[in-house]
Structure 1
């Protein structure tokens, strides 16, 4: 189907056509108007179907966009829930870590080396003592270093052993921090998913706008075809009206002609009848005229 109406195929009707054309010409013109009207109605119907199809597709895209919007909003709510839980857990973990720092500060555990480091240093010094040939003085200094390290180790270990629940508090803080990290990962995962639904929503709305614009164009084409069809129908009705008037005029003319002939026949019969009364001889044709007029 052509996208625009071919104006050259339209049929025009003028006042002069109605007033001057013969009956045969008007019958032919009525046929053209009827056929063109039917073609235009078919074109309008096809364009309406295309418009309706596109409008249905538009509604589908709008519905799809709405589904993505609802899913996005649902995910964003979950993001906020996990974010709130993450922040609460991080705050709780921070409080516990602050408590650990306070305990370590009270015990001066932040000063000096940890047990593993001291133990490693002791092992290195002992290995040196066992493998190197040292002078008596150097060996004595080395032994003193080893004893000093061992003393530091004992003191630090005793300090750590004396801390009431420090490691437990630290472990709890780390466990809570790990749980907060899980919520943070969930925040990132859900936020990415929500963004994807947001992008799909935007794309669906964009597609709906494009299809709606196309549907509007087809509606305009439908209106053009329907208006042209309506105009041809109105002209067809006008021609039909004029043909009925012409039929009536012809019938009136035939009736007038019949009346005239009847009056003429009656006048002729009356004249013949007068002749008959006066004794004139009538031929067969005259007798038939009298009989037809009811004079015999």
Structure 2
């Protein structure tokens, strides 16, 4: 039966470190928090850490500290758990490296049976930076041992709960050591690990321990076998889920690679399309420039008029050459011929422009053909691009589905792993039960043997008296006397 439950104060009964909160009053919380952390993780000696931290508190007002104690939050479930334990007839104690100015107020509030803590020295209402007390020189194991002896209890009738390195000694010595939201070094040494910040979580383990005290060796071995079978099945399920997760991961990675390839092709087709579209735009520009030049050309396509002018010029030239004309008439004909030649030259210039226009038109048509051809080619690459983008989306959807399956199986595997850890904790507890039962059986057997030896010795002494009176001894009687070295 559990008769004593010992709780650490900081981070177990209260939700926080009291000394860190006092440090805030003095503006040295960062230094104190660092020292506290290192001490709780076992990096530095607890005594050294404690003295260094208390020095930093020199000058703090004790009234402020007492007010602080009234406001420190209790750990969730602390009040209910302590009430439950006391209701079952358990003594509840705190063995803490914290200080009287805090612990006494918290202990009184919760009606603790024992408050074993250190003392902060003060003068004129101010801390001197000095500390003394049982937890300065001694370990929590030492204090617990003294408390058990005082109450007449054994370690097997005690449960200890803590979170820091200085709690390890009492956790290891108690019948049940519970690491409560503890540092890694503490978890390695504890029988039970509680990760939830609710002190009521320790109750089921204490109840289970109470129940286990009435279990027989055969029942304990059966229970262990049952847990081992359950563990084997759970680990098998976990491994199967991990394998499924691995398969889904490989599928996801394969699909992602395919999606990457499809996306690469889509980008390649897009770049090719854009390149061709640039060529389309260039040919459009050249076509439009050519058409503009065509529009700017001015010409008169009057071929008949050109022939008529040429005929009239020849006629005038012949008159001038073959007829005798007066000066006035000849000048008129010459001027007329010159005017006609000018008009003819203009017509010939128009014909040249027209020829140039036709060449430009051919060039424009060529550019237009290029535009149509390249546009069709660009459209083909555009469609190929869309096809690859669609393919990429489809593959990505498959990859996402595979990833979701991977995550699902990983979560299930993780859940099974956590289950296996709990089962291993159960096996650990059963092993402790088996060890305790065997130890108890050994004690019982030793007691029986001792009692049997007393009876046999007494019988041997009686036989020896009879022997001295002349009784003849049997072989068994003689062996009995020899066993107890009477003869």
Asked if these proteins are the same fold (TM beyond 0.5), I'd say yes
Q: 1 CA distance for matches of 2:486 and 2:441? A: 32
Distance in structure 2 (CA, Å) of the matches to 1:224 and 1:42:
13
For 1:1-296, list aligned pairs within 5 A: 14-103=208-297, 106-109=298-301, 160=351, 163-266=354-457, 269=460, 280-285=469-474, 287-296=478-487
With over 3 angstroms needed to count, the CA separation of the structure-2 counterparts of 1:166 and 1:288, relative to structure 1, is closer
- Structure 2 CA distance for aligned equivalents of residues 229 and 288 of structure 1: 56
Q: Which runs of 5+ in 2 are unaligned?
A: 1-206, 304-346
| Aligned CA distance change for structure 1 residues 294 and 69 (closer, same or farther; 3 Å) | same
Q: Using the alignment, how far apart are the partners of 2:479 and 2:354 within structure 1?
A: 154
Q: Which has the higher strand share?
A: 2
Of stretches 173-182 and 20-29 in structure 1, the one that deviates more from structure 2 is 173-182
- Give the Cα separation in 2 of the matches to 1:281 and 1:73: 119
Structure 1 residues 167, 270: closer, same or farther in 2, change over 3 A?
Answer: same
Cα offset, 1:91, TM superposition: 0.8
Number of matched pairs: 236
Q: Is the 8 A contact 2:300 2:351 kept in 1?
A: no
* Aligned-residue CA RMSD (Å): 3.1
Q: Matched residues in 2 for 1:97 and 1:35: separation?
A: 91
Gaps of 5+ in 1: 1-12, 113-155
Shift of 1:287: 4.1
Matches of 2:374 and 2:244, distance apart in 1: 51
3-state SS of the aligned residue for 2:213? helix
CA contact (8 A) 2:248 2:406 kept: yes
Q: Check conservation: 2:220, 2:434, Cα contact below 8 A.
A: yes
With over 3 angstroms needed to count, the CA separation of the structure-2 counterparts of 1:165 and 1:25, relative to structure 1, is same
Does the aligned pair in 1 maintain the 2:220–2:430 contact within 8 Å? Answer: yes
Distance 2:254 2:479 in 1: 88
Structure 2 match to 1:137: none
User: TM-score normalised to the size of structure 2?
Assistant: 0.43
State whether residues 299 and 353 of structure 2, in contact with CA within 8 Å, keep that contact through their aligned partners in structure 1. Answer: no
After superposition, the Cα gap between the structure-2 partners of 1:56 and 1:162, relative to the gap in structure 1 and judged at 3 Å, is closer
1:107 CA displacement = 0.8
Higher relative contact order (CA 8 A, sep 6+): 1
Q: CA deviation at 1:290?
A: 2.7
Distance 2:478 2:250 in 1: 85
**CA apart distance, 1:29:** 1.7
Query: Residues of 2 paired with 1:162 and 1:212: CA distance?
Result: 72
TM-superposition CA deviations, 1:53-89 (whole Å, max 9, x none): 2222222222222222222222211121111111111
